[in-house]
Chain A
């Protein structure tokens, strides 16, 4: 954990070097065109910032030089001095000195630049007097030995980072293969080299993942404008709070959720928050509150859109689900609040037309859900009627690798992303019951439907035959998956292990089978299909007896 002092120092250094580069550029522009007011304003502004920051850090030499330089650029701006004559070399020298003072901060043993002569000259310039320039020789000498400094920052196209990440993915697969082979061969030297390769590849993978991280703020900071425009259009008054701009996430993940977040924010203002009059009647402050927040939770990033509007009317959603034929009236009564709210994410499930003034949520939420699913993330909604609604996006920090649970079915390996696995249990047949042709397990007070994965995968288009308890022999290994607040138990042959996997998209024509989100190669060289839990859950709901 870095101390705050260290953090401040790092930020200061990075920003100061950035300022120095920009100042070097702008002073050259000014030399070419002394009337360049934009360059002049930037020089003035950057000096001003550098002065303030350096003084706050206690770097007085930098502060002193920057203070005088700022004053002179200020005088040039107000046309009391002109950027010409003997002033020019002194100001160039000033910026060079600032550069070496900043770099000197990092190198304690090196002799730091003494800016005394420079400060004197800058003072003379401020007073409108001639600076004392040293012999031409010294300057020429200095210029000849000057080192060229390149910026420490590189801009890179995301496409190149994508390519790099793909290569790392391939490398990881080969690495696991080599590691397995080396164990089979049993040569100690080979094993040592393989385990070294393992660590290096791991480091490489995390470095590449790290290089792709950007601040959530780069997206969040676009929202004040959006909120303002939508609020005006909807005649709502909205107070926006933005938290966690510094949380880091993979740039492509941020790209993919952009539309989803836009949608949720528009929805929150349009359908969640009430008009000022309605709010007043409900005894709430006239101005609605909307919060965009990001935080990390273990390896995931949580992004939340929170409003204090009217909330979701669960009974309304329940009725609507029955009308739409998504659930029978009888079954709907047994569903808990979470299960009912999950209907909001069903394709085309809109509350908008008929019940705008009551709830009005659900407009295109399935699109949001799809975007989050494509990332292997989760979308949750919590709401209290009359008090507000919170949408939570649980996103992976990186798209490169995912934690997965490996299991065996009919002598083949499969993987299920951990993001969707709830728990793993081994149950005796007597702990399972058949209700309405469906196996049910009661776990921690919850009734969870259980299905034999083998049957689900092999059943074709026809509905599943009613489950029979007599078919269950011995302990059953069951993986409980969770999607959209719905739990489902999958009976498999054998649990294998937990492992980080690199998921590769399936090639045609396999990609027609939408039950699998991709494939991964195991160290043994075996191809392993990755189960797409959302698709599997939908299949179960469609085929249940």
Chain B
């Protein structure tokens, strides 16, 4: 059975890249959300196995979204996505139950390695550019 992934990012460019990388690798991308509100709704409706979550969103921080999702779905794997410079939020996210994080810009191999690892619950990893 394919693992089901929800992508949360406010940039269409980022969503497109992630979607292509993940679906090429055989994952099923069940939806894309561009803001926190959409992310919460889609997470609840699509029940993914894993969520890639951008740390900075237009309506709230990725951190708030993470907490919202965790309340409802304690088991879903969440991979935080951030560009360098937001390490503080990333650390806080890991403490609040994020499974792993990726630093943008990311290579396809790194994304697949971290997503694959997170799905096998191997804890955190990073991908310094």
Contacts and interface: CB of A to CB of B under 8 A. Distances in A.
Query: Does chain A bind chain B?
Result: yes
Interface of A: 4, 7-8, 11-12, 15, 42, 44-45, 48-49, 51-53, 55-56, 67, 70-71, 74, 221, 223-225, 227-228, 231, 238-242, 245, 287
Nearest to B34: A221
A394 B58 CA distance: 36
B41 A8 contact: no
Contact of A45 (B10, B38, B47): B10
Interface residues of B, number: 31
5 contacts: A52-B104, A67-B84, A224-B42, A225-B45, A241-B31
B105 interface: yes
Nearest to A50: B11
B13 A53 contact: yes
A245 B32 CA distance: 9
B11 A53 contact: yes
B30 interface: yes
B83 A51 contact: yes
B124 interface: no
Interface stretch (B14-22, B63-71, B91-99, B115-123): B14-22
Interface string B65-81: 00000000000000000
Contact of B31 (A49, A53, A238, A242): A242
B87 to A, nearest CB: 12
Contact of B56 (A44, A53, A239): A44
A44 B85 CA distance: 12
Given A55-B105, A71-B85, A241 B46 contact: yes
Interface in B23-59: 28, 30-32, 38, 41-42, 44-47, 56-58
B46 A42 contact: no
B85 to A, nearest CB: 6
B38 to A, nearest CB: 7
B28 to A, nearest CB: 7
Nearest to B81: A52
Nearest to B46: A240
A287 B28 CA distance: 17
A56 B58 CA distance: 21
B14 to A, nearest CB: 7
Tell me which of A44, A67, A223, A242 has the highest count of chain B C-beta atoms within 10 A of its own C-beta: A242
Contacts of A7: 16
A51 B104 CA distance: 9
Cβ-closest 10 pairs across A and B: A224-B45, A56-B105, A52-B104, A52-B83, A55-B105, A240-B45, A224-B41, A224-B42, A49-B11, A239-B47
B86 interface: yes
B30 A241 contact: yes
Given A55-B104, A56-B17, 19 more contacts: A4-B20, A8-B13, A44-B56, A45-B10, A45-B56, A48-B85, A49-B11, A49-B14, A52-B14, A55-B129, A56-B14, A223-B45, A224-B38, A239-B46, A239-B47, A240-B31, A241-B4, A241-B31, A242-B46
B51 to A, nearest CB: 13
Contacts of B4: 241
A234 to B, nearest CB: 14
Contacts of B38: 221, 224
Contact of A228 (B17, B45, B58): B45
A448 to B, nearest CB: 41
Contact of B13 (A11, A228, A238, A245): A11
A240 B14 CA distance: 23
Contact of B46 (A52, A67, A224, A245): A224
Contacts of B84: 67
Contacts of A228: 41, 44-45
Contacts of A42: 58
Contacts of A221: 31, 38
Contacts of A245: 32
B61 to A, nearest CB: 10
Contacts of B129: 55
A55 B56 CA distance: 17
A351 to B, nearest CB: 27
Given A48-B86, A52-B11, A55-B129, A240 B56 contact: no
Contacts of B32: 245
Nearest to A42: B58
Given A56-B104, A56-B105, A70 B85 contact: yes
B106 to A, nearest CB: 8
A49 B14 CA distance: 9
A281 B32 CA distance: 33
A191 to B, nearest CB: 47
B33 to A, nearest CB: 8
Contact of A240 (B30, B57, B83): B30
B41 A67 contact: no
A241 B129 CA distance: 33
A375 B15 CA distance: 33
Contacts of B45: 223-225, 227-228, 231, 238-240
A481 to B, nearest CB: 39
A20 to B, nearest CB: 14
Contacts of B16: 7-8, 11
